[in-house]
Amino acid sequence: MKSSKGFGFGLFALAVTALTAFYVARRLPRSTKLDESSGPTSIASGSNTSSELGGHGTTFNGSALERLRVAPHVYARSVRHDEYGRIEIAALSAPDAERIVTDLKCDRFSFGRTRGICLVDNRINLTPPAKALLVDRALAVVHTIDLAGLPSRARISSDERFAVATVFTVGDDYKADFSTRTTLLDVRTGNPIADLEEFKVLREGAELHSPDFNFWGVTFKADSSQFFATLATKGKTYLVEGDIARREVHVLRENVECPSLSPDQKHLVFKSKLPNSEWRLHALDLADGREWELTQEQRSVDDQVAWLDDGHVLYRILEEHGEPELALNIWVAAIDPAQTEPVKRFMRSASSPSVSY
């Protein structure tokens, strides 16, 4: 009796183990080529003219990257299974078809013209929990900075002097709520300049104090020593305008998260929270203070948008259920208040876009 029980249990355990092993094996990355390559940009994904996923990897020589860079292009983070988290460069004219996948793996990414910032989770090694990698034009790592949390937002200024990393620190707060840390970095030296929570916060000239200040979603102006960002305190979010040299920020308006400044410096697009905790994209005209909702996009958008041009923004959307490979795509919306253009898919299976002309 006893031994038959043991036998039954053994059989069950064996079956469970075999099934699990089968499941794990099936999900191991299909291509091993990726790990053998040495150069940061030695991997190419073949161009796939159809919108089918999983283009097969083909090696390419470095000149392919430069060929793509001659015309306007976009950097993004691929979420295709074989390339998960790798930075890709694609032609702006056909981002799903003409693209090159690099070896650089990131969870958040932002690129200027010759420099970029890549935030990568490092929990496998316990500490540091994450790293910011400052990369050069070849996407080779120049500086590494330790970060204390989950990568959330990354931006580099257009003159490539400053970069900023926001991490989300789990359980770093007294009420299991969320808490963020936003660190300004000097791109040239790789040194942290300041944590935004060290900056003086002013509202209508008066200084504010609270132990619960959280900053995130920095966007730099063309004069990169100035920026816009989100400040959260006591359950509300505010748009703030900051100055790195003066180490202070000024509160401008309420219910603004993750602002992003247009290349012509005229508009901010940000997400604004609805009572049901969804977000809608809003635009703000900095000259006259007019604010309007981008009503063409009726889904909740939880991203810091990137600008395609002075009239269009890019953002990621998780479309319904399914594998992220299929569901996570970059969309494009016009900011025109007349809202004549419908939103459409811009790039498949990707996030963290940065456009370069």
Partner 1 sequence: MALSALGRNVWLLSATSLVTDISSEMLTSVLPLYLLYQLQVSPAALGVVEGVHQGGAALVRLLSGAASDRWQRYRELLATGYGLSAVSKLGLLLVGPSVGSLLAVTWLDRIGKGIRTTPRDGLLSLSVPKHALGTAFGLHRAFDTAGAVLGPALAFSLLHFIPDGYDVVFAVSLALASIGVAIIVTFVKNPQQGPDATPAENAPLARLWSDVGYRAVVVASFVLGLCTASDSLIYLTLQSALHFPRTWIPLLYVATPLVYLALSIPVGRIADKLGHLPVLFVSYSALLAVYVLGASATKIALGLPLLVANVTLLGLHYASSDGVMMALTSRLLPVQRRGVGLGLVSAGVGTGKLLGTIAFGALWSSFGSGVALRALSFALALSLTFALVHVIRKPEAFHEVE
**Of the residues 309, 325, 336, 341, which one makes contact with partner 1 according to CB under 8 A:** 325
Of the candidates 52, 104, 116, 114, which has an alpha carbon nearest to the alpha carbon of residue 78? 104
Q: Are strands 86-91 and 99-105 parallel, antiparallel or unpaired?
A: antiparallel
Looking at the Cβ atoms of 62 and 322, the one nearer to partner 1 is 322
Cβ atoms of residues 230 and 258 within 8 Å: yes
| Residue selected from 49, 62, 94, 148 as contacting partner 1 according to rule CB under 8 A | 148
Contact 299, 327 (CB under 8 A): no
Total binding residues toward partner 1, as defined by CB under 8 A = 63
d(C-alpha 112, C-alpha 75), whole Å: 10
Question: What is the three-class DSSP state of 35?
Answer: helix
Binding test (CB under 8 A) with partner 1, winner from 136, 173, 264, 310 = 173
H or E segment to which residue 345 belongs: strand 344-347
- Does residue number 17 form part of the binding site for partner 1 (CB under 8 A)? yes
Place of tokens 């078809």: 97
Q: Which of 1, 3, 38, 175 binds partner 1 (CB under 8 A)?
A: 175
Phi, psi for residue 74 in degrees, rounded to 5: -135, 135
Site string for partner 1, 189-228 (x = CB under 8 A): ---------------------xxx----------------
Which of 169, 158, 222, 223 lies closest to 195 in space, CA to CA? Answer: 169
Does residue 36 touch partner 1 according to CB under 8 A? Answer: no
Window of 2-10, 51-59, 62-70, 305-313 that interacts with partner 1 by CB under 8 A: 2-10
Would you tell me which residues interact with partner 1 (CB under 8 A)?
5-6, 8-9, 12-13, 16-17, 19-20, 23-24, 27-29, 79, 81, 84-85, 105, 107, 121, 123-124, 126-129, 146-148, 150, 152, 168-178, 180-181, 210-212, 234, 277, 279, 302-303, 316, 318, 320-322, 324-325, 328, 351
